[in-house]
A and B are shown apart, each in its own frame.
Chain A
């Protein structure tokens, strides 16, 4: 019973905060709503006994990705009046996407995959079942190839980002640490006879 209550709390909060992301006037408030939404999603993971995924969601998305988002958004100049200018122009397209998504959701939920009978009534696993160990075991044995490919793609993206942003500039100033440390008194101070 308690679990159902928690499920509805997390689920409802994540839907509400998701709406908050879209509807908030202030972009900073939108970001905060999105963070709150992630927290609720990780709460849902916890209810499913997937603590590892729940924690990783907070660690990666809230702790790293959203900070960078916020950096960018803090620097943006948002003009609310300008944003609302093309509202009517984009309304048909946006409305169409919304309707299509709605139909897909309804079709999926009535297709029987999510029917009560199709759901396995799984009891909760005990504390001795270690989530991290299970995920690690299956990731490094059965799905090793996919995992390695994902790692290589990420590495390529990383190197690509570095290559794209590195610019050779002749007038760029930089400090040579070891030269700074090696400086002795004689290099800087000169005795002048008056």
Chain B
């Protein structure tokens, strides 16, 4: 490889990364707008409608405000980790997008075989996403500790316990997907669900879909599980953060929310395939983003609907309900795969036999 080739390759990689990071940042800004409008609509009020037509410029105004605000670092804080913590929570949220396949394209017939639209079509995509999303704990934990303040540390410890507990249920839920698809590659998992809505994994794995989505909700710390930022803790681990550093935390939170929605659509809702094969003339990316947009709407809907969980109720849900449920479903799926007679039922979804 000559240096010129290498430079071209590096440029392509940089463009690929930019093509995912920039839309993620932009959609985070507009999800905050839609969240306020939707909650306003649910609660029979207007939501933000002053800045720009129908309030559409509100996210930009908010961004500008946060950017211009002074960043305050508490005197007794550990400066290095205090500044590093928001980055430590943002980086995992963004690099997890590297393996997400956004669809398949042959570039209007230029390529003979359709290529998967992902920065890296990694063989272990699913494990990679699990590993990377478990790293976001550190940002939260560091933020709480480095602030050197009571409420942030209580918030961050709560948050960490919550994330660890729900990660286990999430991981076991994904095992059933691996059992059916026989692969850890995200695009292979989507290919295994080709052929209409009956082939989607939400049919045989419906309880796992519920467990995965609710655990995702807890993992991100969205409303029924937002004990980490309750009023009694003065907004938890980001009490001491202001301005851009605070915005970085919310960017990470909403980025993780987008990731959970994308992963749920890829793993359980058929990824880029249409519910009816005839509708596949609409590009797959539109389907995938549409499904994810619906799931993001469900997140917001949750926020407008449910009251907050009590801490012991939340722990009970994670350990005493979701964990046995997922373990039981692994057992059931395994039983169906290897019992003669029953295997004819599951063969409809099984990709590897």
Contacts and interface: CB of A to CB of B under 8 A. Distances in A.
Contacts of A177: 313, 316
A63 B131 contact: yes
Interface in B155-190: 157, 160, 164, 167, 184
Contact of B137 (A29, A52, A67, A130): A67
B135 interface: yes
Interface string A27-58: 01100100100000000000000011001101
B123 interface: yes
B134 to A, nearest CB: 3
A127 B187 CA distance: 14
B111 to A, nearest CB: 17
A71 interface: yes
B164 A67 contact: yes
A58 B131 contact: yes
B128 interface: yes
A64 interface: yes
Contacts of A51: 122-124
Nearest to A52: B124
B145 A74 contact: yes
Contacts, number: 64
A71 B131 contact: no
A61 to B, nearest CB: 10
Contacts of A71: 157, 160
Contacts of A58: 131-132, 135
A59 B123 contact: no
A151 B117 CA distance: 39
Contacts of B316: 177
Interface in A55-107: 55-56, 58-59, 62-64, 67, 70-71, 74
Contacts of B26: none
B127 A130 contact: no
Contact of B78 (A2, A26, A55, A132): A26
B135 A132 contact: no
B145 A59 contact: no
B293 interface: no
A130 B80 CA distance: 41
**Interface size class for chain A?**
20 to 34
A141 interface: no
A129 to B, nearest CB: 9
Contacts of A74: 141, 145, 153
B15 interface: no
B135 A63 contact: yes
Nearest to B145: A74
A140 to B, nearest CB: 14
B3 to A, nearest CB: 11
Contacts of B130: 59, 63
Given A52-B124, A58-B131, A67 B81 contact: no
A35 B164 CA distance: 17
Contacts of B127: 52, 55-56, 59, 132
A2 to B, nearest CB: 8
Contact of B164 (A28, A29, A64, A132): A64
A55 B137 contact: no
A37 to B, nearest CB: 14
A28 B141 CA distance: 11
B336 interface: no
A123 interface: no
A35 B88 CA distance: 12
B302 interface: no
A106 B333 CA distance: 52
Contact of B134 (A26, A64, A127, A130): A64
Contacts of B142: 28, 32
A175 interface: yes
B160 to A, nearest CB: 6
Given A64-B164, A132-B124, A175-B312, A28 B145 contact: yes
Contact of A62 (B135, B145, B153): B135
A134 B61 CA distance: 53
11 contacts: A28-B145, A29-B81, A59-B130, A59-B131, A62-B134, A62-B135, A63-B167, A74-B145, A130-B123, A131-B123, A177-B313
| Closest A-B pairs by Cβ, 5 of them | A63-B134, A59-B131, A58-B131, A55-B127, A55-B131
Given A74-B141, A175-B312, 4 more contacts: A51-B122, A59-B131, A62-B134, A67-B138
Interface of A: 2, 26, 28-29, 32, 35, 51-52, 55-56, 58-59, 62-64, 67, 70-71, 74, 127, 130-132, 175, 177
